[in-house]
Amino acid sequence: MSEILKFYLGEPSVCKHVLSDIWGYSFKRLEQGHDYIQLLFPLDEPSAHNPDAPVLTEEDIIVFRGSPELQAMVMVSVHTFMRFLFFTRESWLTEFDHNHLRITRVIKCLILFGMNSHALSVFQEVMTMLDTKGEDYLVSDKSIGFWERAIAPAIELSEEELFGKAAEILPEQAHKYAIQHGWAPQPTRRGNIDLMNHPDHPLRQLHIPTDMYSIDYAEAMYEVLRRVSDIENRPIKDVLKDMIR
């Protein structure tokens, strides 16, 4: 059994940390420690900053992908890390910070484990943290570019998979995108949009009820993505990538 699997299963290993202990580390210890992140979110390539850290094997990846129990533990690790990011965001929302590299690692790890929707959630939450900082944040385009390239494989889905996941990922952004392109009126009141005022609104073409809470978002996303793709003559996957930035 590999060291990574031993670590996640709580069995004796050469690792200096214990998984359950890391979940309880203080923010200060999570910030200052540099040899645990490679254990929480292992990759299939050596770490430039911790060359002694174990590396994922193909067998490891297969085991993680096929084990709901292991994936559940990975999600506890994700929650631990994202909580740390949220409460310390004032310190890492700067031009460059070592936590930027950690974010890239988390996204890559989740994709290796076949947890694409969770990788997308991490990416979205990080980008939301940037937005809440307003114009004061100085995260470099280079760092954001690393995150975008890391998340790209999670969006390289078949169209059927893309449309199926779109409703879970970006329902509100889809409508905002339609508004920006002049296809939809602004909401007149919460939860109600007068689709009849705009004949070209993609949602109207589906004859969807005006109550936003009853809209089938999967179909709505399908139509929005398809329409943007046709107008801009770009692959649907590229359109979605732009929408989640």
**Crossing angle for the helix pair 116-132 and 98-112, nearest 10 degrees?**
160
pLDDT tens-digit readout, 97-156: 999 999 999 999 999 999 988 998 899 899 888 876 555 567 888 999 899 889 988 876
Report the mean per-residue pLDDT for the chain: 75
> Would you list the domain boundaries of the chain?
3-155, 159-243
Predicted pLDDT at 155:
74
Percent of the chain at pLDDT above 70? 64
Apex CA 94: angle with CA 170 and CA 76, to 5°?
A: 55
Predicted pLDDT at 191:
36
Q: What is the pTM of this model?
A: 0.65
